[in-house]
Amino acid sequence: MNFESMTPMQKAAVALVAFGPEVSAHVLKGMSEADLESITIEIANLRDVPSEIEAKVVEECHSIFMARQYISQGGVDFATEILEKAVGSSKAREIMKRLESTLTTRGFSLLKDIDPKQLSSFFQNEHPQTTALVLTQLAPQHAAAVLSELAPELQSEVALRVATMEKISPEILKEVEGTLTSHFGSDSGRDLSVSGGAKAIAEILNLIDTTAEKNILQSLEAEDADLAAEVKNMMFVFDDLILLDDRSIQRLLKEVETRDLSLALKAASDEVKNKIFTNVSERVSMMIKEEMEFMGPTRLSDVEAAQGRIVEAVRRLEEEGQIIISGRGGKEDIIV
């Protein structure tokens, strides 16, 4: 058994065994029937668990419990700050990332499997503020897909409201959750949530199609130039590859398929092309250039899709701390 490869359900099973029958019984009483069945199967399948694995699982559980307590005391930012002091910034980010999926109310989790077109159809008759609130509760990729399906004028209005959204009260969340539950299914919920803001809309715009992204940013700029600048600063677009240092470019290229790279460079600036070609061998450089030439005329949508996949890899690697994007500002960008 390897700790890194364990599923959340396997960790839960190990934790319950470690906590003993009395504590476990209290936990199991609060589970849904489906979760209870899954965790029971995992416990039944447990064999000899090494003591070091058990210790890591219990330590992780303790960290998550403490993070939840900090969130309830002062919100997500407060929890992150306290955890960074306690366990370091890297471990704190890891814990908060694992908690992200549980910070949304359960009623909103009903939406994760709903087709974006169906969701956008539902939102056509809803107030833009309601749509914006729901988008902040979805995964960025799902939110981007829904936003893409909205009418252009509604896209801009919703994006602005996401970018300017503050913390949402539990009462409002429950009201919106009730509407969603009655429309998409039945479930119970909690009253803890994350908020919107410039970072939230930047994450969504990073994943939306280029045309919609440009239209939304233009509308944001007309409405609030400072806010638009803040959102743009948090976004990463394909041309921003020039902001990566050579080591980061080389790390990125290990994650990117040669065909995607060749396709993406078809519409890239000379600066970006030079950045890539100076970080690959002469043989690889020639291979990429030959493939670009061999492709011939290519649909812009295909090129943008390839660029989007590369940008997604950049964002993932940055979140994991494996690459650095310079020019973003902030202490974490300083290397000494």
> Tens of pLDDT along the chain (336 residues)?
677 778 878 888 888 888 887 777 777 776 766 777 777 778 777 777 888 888 888 888 877 777 767 665 566 667 777 778 777 887 777 777 766 555 544 456 556 667 777 777 777 777 888 888 888 877 788 888 888 888 888 888 888 888 887 766 556 666 676 666 666 654 433 333 444 677 778 777 877 776 777 778 888 888 888 888 778 777 777 888 988 989 999 999 999 998 999 999 988 889 999 999 999 999 999 999 999 988 888 888 888 888 888 988 887 888 788 888 765 443 344 333
Shared domain for 219 and 278, answered yes or no, is no
Q: In CATH, what number is assigned to the domain containing residue 243? A: 1.10.220.30
Shared domain for 270 and 319, answered yes or no, is yes
Shared domain for 29 and 134, answered yes or no, is no
pLDDT of residue 177: 66
- Among residues 271, 279, 285, 213, the alpha carbon closest in space to that of 243 is found at 271
Shared domain for 27 and 91, answered yes or no, is yes
pLDDT of residue 167: 65
Q: How far apart are CA 69 and CA 61, in angstroms?
A: 12
Shared domain for 270 and 297, answered yes or no, is yes
Shared domain for 145 and 218, answered yes or no, is yes
Q: Helices 140-149 & 116-123, crossing angle to 10 degrees?
A: 60
Shared domain for 121 and 227, answered yes or no, is yes
- What's the total number of domains in the chain? 3
For 147-180, b/e burial (b = at least 16 CB within 10 A) is: bbbbeeebbbbbbbbbbbbeebeeeebeebbeeb
Q: Provide CB contacts within 8 A for 310, sequence distance 6+.
A: 238, 241, 252, 256, 260, 261, 264
Domain end (from 84, 100, 116):
100
pLDDT of residue 334: 38
pLDDT of residue 76: 66
Shared domain for 213 and 307, answered yes or no, is no
Q: Is residue 145 within 8 Å of 209, Cβ to Cβ?
A: no
Shared domain for 13 and 133, answered yes or no, is no
Helix ranges (DSSP H) in 88-127:
89-100, 106-109, 116-123
Helix ranges (DSSP H) in 140-269:
140-149, 152-163, 170-184, 198-205, 210-223, 225-234, 246-253, 258-264
Shared domain for 123 and 192, answered yes or no, is yes
Shared domain for 24 and 60, answered yes or no, is yes
Domain end (from 199, 234, 269):
234
Domain end (from 208, 234, 260):
234
Its domain, for residue 208, covers 106-234
Give the 3-state secondary structure of residue 78: helix
